[in-house]
């Protein structure tokens, strides 16, 4: 009913008591619940894919909240594509780095591939002037996932080094 009348889909609709300094958005809440169909409805009815909301004690953009969530992989992938379709910035910085940089450091080849499919920019640099590829090399021996799965690290380096669109590589 609220959506029918395009009610404001921001933290005001979810405002907790005054003593609580927490603000969120309906979209952030749907992301935290792992509910992609609700995300779609909210976005179609005017929720802002770039409006920050609170996750735990920190404010995050919806795209960051999605990748920080416990959402299963198929839902995360669908949710990321949906947010980007609604103008979320896949290259937005979170604590000085992009999601692509974080995925490269974490040795998450599936996430790197998804972010590249969504047109993440490989040439952006973090606060230390390093790209995602440089971070992948730097964290090769620092990240347990890279040490345990060298093939994942190799896949990330190949993905980040290529000039071809990701979809054409596989």
Label residue 58 by pLDDT band (50, 70, 90): confident
Crossing angle of helices 109-117 and 150-161, in 10° steps, is 20
DSSP collapsed to 3 states, 91-112: CCCECCECHHHHHHHHCCHHHH
Reported as type and span, the H/E element at residue 167 is helix 166-169
Q: Which SS3 state, helix, strand or coil, does residue 25 take?
A: coil
CB atoms within 10 A of CB 118: 20
Label residue 167 by pLDDT band (50, 70, 90): low
Label residue 165 by pLDDT band (50, 70, 90): low
**pLDDT at residue 12 tops 80:** no
Mean pLDDT of 52-72: 89
φ, ψ for residue 39, nearest 5 deg: -60, -45
Delineate the domains of the chain, giving CATH numbers in brackets.
1-89 (1.25.40), 91-170 (1.25.40.20)
Q: So what's the pLDDT on residue 163?
A: 73
Q: So what's the pLDDT on residue 162?
A: 84
Cα(14)–Cα(29) distance, rounded to whole angstroms?
9
Mean pLDDT of 107-117: 94
| Tokens describing residue 145 | 């996932």
Mean pLDDT of 100-113: 94
Instruction: Give the global pTM.
Output: 0.81
| Tokens describing residue 157 | 């380096």
């Amino acid at each position: 009913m609220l959506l029918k009348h395009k009610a404001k889909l921001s933290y005001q609709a979810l405002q907790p008591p005054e003593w609580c300094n927490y603000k969120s958005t309906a979209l952030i809440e749907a992301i935290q619940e792992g509910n992609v169909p609700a995300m779609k409805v909210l976005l179609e009815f005017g929720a802002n894919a770039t409006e920050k909301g609170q996750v735990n004690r920190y404010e995050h953009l919806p795209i960051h909240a999605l990748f920080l969530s416990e959402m299963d992989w198929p839902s995360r992938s669908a949710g990321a594509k949906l947010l980007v379709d609604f103008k979320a910035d896949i290259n937005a910085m979170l604590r000085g780095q992009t999601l692509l940089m974080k995925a490269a450091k974490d040795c998450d080849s599936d996430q790197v591939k998804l972010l590249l499919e969504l047109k993440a920019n490989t040439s952006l640099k973090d606060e230390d002037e390093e790209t995602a590829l440089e971070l992948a090399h730097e964290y090769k021996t620092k990240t347990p996932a890279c040490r345990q799965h060298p093939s994942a690290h190799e896949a990330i380096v190949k993905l980040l080094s290529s000039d071809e669109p990701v979809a054409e590589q596989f």
